[in-house]
Amino acid sequence: MTVVFGGVAPHPPIIVPAVGGRNLPRVQKTVDAMRAWAKECLEQDPETVIIISPHGPVFQDAIAVTAFPRLKGDLARFNAPEVKADVENDLPLVSSIIAQAKRRGVSVAAMDESLAKRFSIEQELDHGTMVPLYFLMEAGFGGKVVPIAMAMLSREELFRFGIALREAMSESPRRVALIASSDLSHRLTEDAPAGYHPQAHEFDKAIERAFGVWELDDLLNIEESLCEKAGECGYRSLLMMAGAFDRPGTKSRVYSYEGPFGVGYLVGSVTSGEEAGHAPAMGEARLSRYIQGRRAQIEKSRAGESVYVRFARQTLEAHVCKEPLPPIPAELADADPAGVFVSIKMQGQLRGCIGTISPTQESLGEEIRHNAISAGTNDPRFFPVEEDELDELVYSVDVLMPEEPVASMNDLDPQRYGVIVRSGRQQGLLLPMLDGVDTVEEQVGIARQKAGIPAEKDVALSRFEVVRHR
Report the candidate in 234, 261, 231 with the shortest Cα–Cα distance to residue 442: 231
Q: Are residues 327 and 202 in the same domain?
A: no
Q: Are residues 198 and 247 in the same domain?
A: yes
- Intra-chain end-to-end CA distance of the chain, in Å: 50
Position 195 scores a pLDDT of 86
Q: Are residues 123 and 252 in the same domain?
A: yes
Q: Which residues contact 456 (CB under 8 A, 6 or more apart)?
A: none
pTM, two decimals, is 0.86
**Residue 53 sits in a domain of what CATH number?**
3.40.830.10
Q: Are residues 183 and 128 in the same domain?
A: yes
Residue 299, in any domain of the structure = no
Position 134 scores a pLDDT of 98
Q: Are residues 138 and 183 in the same domain?
A: yes
- The residue from 259, 292, 325 where one domain ends is 292
CA–chain centroid gap for 424, Å, is 34
Cα 67 from Cα 92, distance rounded (Å)? 10
Position 347 scores a pLDDT of 84
Q: Are residues 147 and 128 in the same domain?
A: yes
Q: Are residues 388 and 425 in the same domain?
A: no
CA–chain centroid gap for 334, Å, is 41
- The residue from 263, 292, 321 where one domain ends is 292
Is residue 53 within 8 A of residue 11, CB to CB? The reply is yes
Residue 297, in any domain of the structure = no
- The residue from 344, 379, 399 where one domain ends is 399
Q: Are residues 263 and 407 in the same domain?
A: no
Q: Are residues 211 and 233 in the same domain?
A: yes
Q: Are residues 377 and 458 in the same domain?
A: no
- Total domains present in the chain: 3
Report the candidate in 267, 264, 266, 260 with the shortest Cα–Cα distance to residue 200: 264
**Residue 363 sits in a domain of what CATH number?**
3.30.700.20
Residue 70, in any domain of the structure = yes
Q: Please list the ranges in the chain whose pLDDT falls under 50.
A: 274-279
Q: Are residues 311 and 438 in the same domain?
A: no
Position 1 scores a pLDDT of 56
Position 77 scores a pLDDT of 95
Position 273 scores a pLDDT of 56
Position 348 scores a pLDDT of 81
- 424, amino acid identity: G
User: Quick count: other Cβ atoms within 10 Å of Cβ 136?
Assistant: 26
Cα 272 from Cα 1, distance rounded (Å)? 13
Look up the domain containing 350 and give its range: 304-399
Residue 170, in any domain of the structure = yes
Residue 429, in any domain of the structure = yes
- 275, amino acid identity: E
Cα 370 from Cα 377, distance rounded (Å)? 11
Q: Which residues of 273-312 are buried (b: 16+ CB within 10 A; e: fewer)?
A: eeebeeeebebeebbeebeeebeeeeeeeeeebeebbbbb
Position 279 scores a pLDDT of 45
Position 63 scores a pLDDT of 97
Q: What is the pLDDT of residues 106-161, one digit of tens each?
A: 999 999 999 999 999 988 999 999 999 999 999 999 999 999 999 999 999 999 99
Q: Are residues 347 and 412 in the same domain?
A: no
Position 281 scores a pLDDT of 59
